Structure 1
Amino acid sequence: MDLPRIFTIRESSHHIHNPFTGDQLATLGQALRLAPGTRALDLASGSGELLCTWARDHGITGTGVDISTVFTEHARTRAAELGVADRVDFVHGDAAGHVADAPVDLAACVGATWIGGGVAGTVELLDRSLRPGGLMLIGEPYWRLDPPDQDTVEGCDATRKEDFRPLPELIEQFGDLGYDVVEMVLADQDGWDRYRAAQWLNLRTWLDRNPDDELAADVRAELTTAPARYARYGRDHLGWGVFALMAR
């Protein structure tokens, strides 16, 4: 049970596996007014930056669950670097279907709603771990501009236009599911550029070091097309944000 290697190659230098900058992650933590001792569960926690930095800055505790052995080890290393290994722990496992042993104050899935089959299923999954009155965090893409054709849809890593919604409709969806949106922080253009462009250097660095690897042809093909594909499609059309929800 693990992520395909191409994912960990592509994002090998990333602390945050989405278009948030460190400053935006910090802004979100401040906006949520997190109290020391807040108990958190982060599903698909990646390299653990959310839990580690919020444990350092706000005194939260928590558990992250991720399917990637590489990212889980990165998260444990990061916790040690920041001096919070006694407050957060990271579990290698499938976040889909994971429920906390005891209710938590904050349940998050930031950028991986496929673990629940989409937004609705992920909200339902997180709710199973959340105490009454707790905070839920969902990170999700949305259409900034209406994609004019299927090439644009696929250029934004979707299979069909309905995979994502415009921002107002995404917020309305949360309401339809019975939740108030009580905060949000949206990625900006710089965050998107840093997230995507850093992947290209990761790919090229890996390729130079591993020219005979069985994945070399796939990595070369991605590196050849990814920059222009992002500039043509994703940069203008796709947005991304983290939304804080409370059940009505």
Structure 2
Amino acid sequence: MDLPRSFTIRESNHRIHNPFTDSKLATLGRAIRLRPGMTMLDLASGSGEMLCTWAREHGVTGTGVDISTAFVDAARARAVELGVDDRVTFVHGDAAAYVAATPVDVAACIGATWIGSGVAGTLDLLERDLHPGGLLLVGEPFWRTDPPDQATVEGCHVSAKEDHHDLPGLVALFGKLGWDLVEMVLADEDSWDRYVAAQWLNVRTWLDANPDDDLAGELRAELDDAPLRYARYQRPYLGWGVFALMRR
């Protein structure tokens, strides 16, 4: 059980595996009013930056679960680096199947709603681990601008326009599912650049060091295409944000 090797190569130097900068992550932690002693579960926790920095800055404790062995190892190392390894735990496993031993104050899935086959299913997964009155965090893409054609849709790595909502549609979906939207922090063009453009350098560095690897041809072709695809399609059309929800 692991992520494809191409994914971990592409994001090998990332601490945050979403279009969020350190400053936006810090803004989110302040916005949701974290307090010392609050407990957290982070499903698809990646390299653990959210849990580790919030443990240091806000005194939370918690568990992260991720399918990637490389990212779980990185998260554990980050916890030691920040001196919070006594407050956070990282588990290698299927986030969709993980159930917390006790309910938590904050349950999160940031940028991986595929674990629940979409937003609705992921909110259900998160709610089963949540204290009544607790807070859910979900990270999800949305259309910033209506995509004009199928080439734009596919340029944003989806097969159909309906795979994403626009921002009003996403907010309406939360309400339809019985959740109050109580905070949100959205990506901007700079945070998208820092996420996506950093992948290109990771791939190029890996290609230089591994020219004869079985994946070299695939990743070389990806690097030939990715920057233009991003500049033409993803950057102008695709938004992303983290949304804080409470059950009505």
Q: Residues 151-207 of structure 1: CA distance to partner in whole angstroms, max 9, x if unpaired?
A: 111111111111100001101100000000000000011000111100000000000
Q: Which residue of 1 aligns with 2:216?
A: 216
Equivalents in 1 of 2:196, 2:93: separation in Å? 26
Tell me the CA shift for residue 98 of structure 1: 1.8
Q: Which residue of 2 aligns with 1:10?
A: 10
Tell me the CA shift for residue 96 of structure 1: 1.3
Q: Which residue of 2 aligns with 1:162?
A: 162
The letter of the residue matching 2:158 is: A
Q: Which residue of 1 aligns with 2:31?
A: 31
The letter of the residue matching 1:9 is: I
Deviates more, 1:49-58 or 1:97-106: 97-106
Q: Which residue of 2 aligns with 1:131?
A: 131
The letter of the residue matching 2:28 is: L
Q: Which residue of 2 aligns with 1:199?
A: 199
Tell me the CA shift for residue 143 of structure 1: 0.1
Q: Residues 202-226 of structure 1: CA distance to partner in whole angstroms, max 9, x if unpaired?
A: 0000000000000000110000000
1:189 matched to 2:189: yes
The letter of the residue matching 1:178 is: G
Q: Which residue of 2 aligns with 1:120?
A: 120
Q: Which residue of 2 aligns with 1:243?
A: 243
Q: Which residue of 2 aligns with 1:41?
A: 41
Contact 1:99 1:126 in 2 (8 A): no
Q: Residues 217-244 of structure 1: CA distance to partner in whole angstroms, max 9, x if unpaired?
A: 0110000000000001000000000000
Unmatched segments (≥5 aa) in structure 2: none
Q: Residues 4-63 of structure 1: CA distance to partner in whole angstroms, max 9, x if unpaired?
A: 000000001100000000000000000111110110000000000000000000000000
Q: Structure 1 segments of 4 or more deviating over 4 A? A: none
Contact 1:135 1:246 in 2 (8 A): yes
**Identical aligned residues as a percent:** 72
Contact 1:179 1:247 in 2 (8 A): yes
Equivalents in 2 of 1:38, 1:151: separation in Å? 45
Partner SS state of residue 18, structure 1: coil
- Root-mean-square deviation (CA), in Å? 0.5
Partner SS state of residue 17, structure 1: coil
Partner SS state of residue 138, structure 2: strand
Q: Which residue of 1 aligns with 2:89?
A: 89
1:108 matched to 2:114: no
Tell me the CA shift for residue 97 of structure 1: 2.6
Q: Which residue of 2 aligns with 1:54?
A: 54
Partner SS state of residue 108, structure 1: strand
1:99 matched to 2:99: yes
Deviates more, 1:205-214 or 1:157-166: 157-166
Unmatched segments (≥5 aa) in structure 1: none
Equivalents in 2 of 1:124, 1:173: separation in Å? 14
Equivalents in 1 of 2:160, 2:104: separation in Å? 35
Equivalents in 2 of 1:46, 1:177: separation in Å? 27
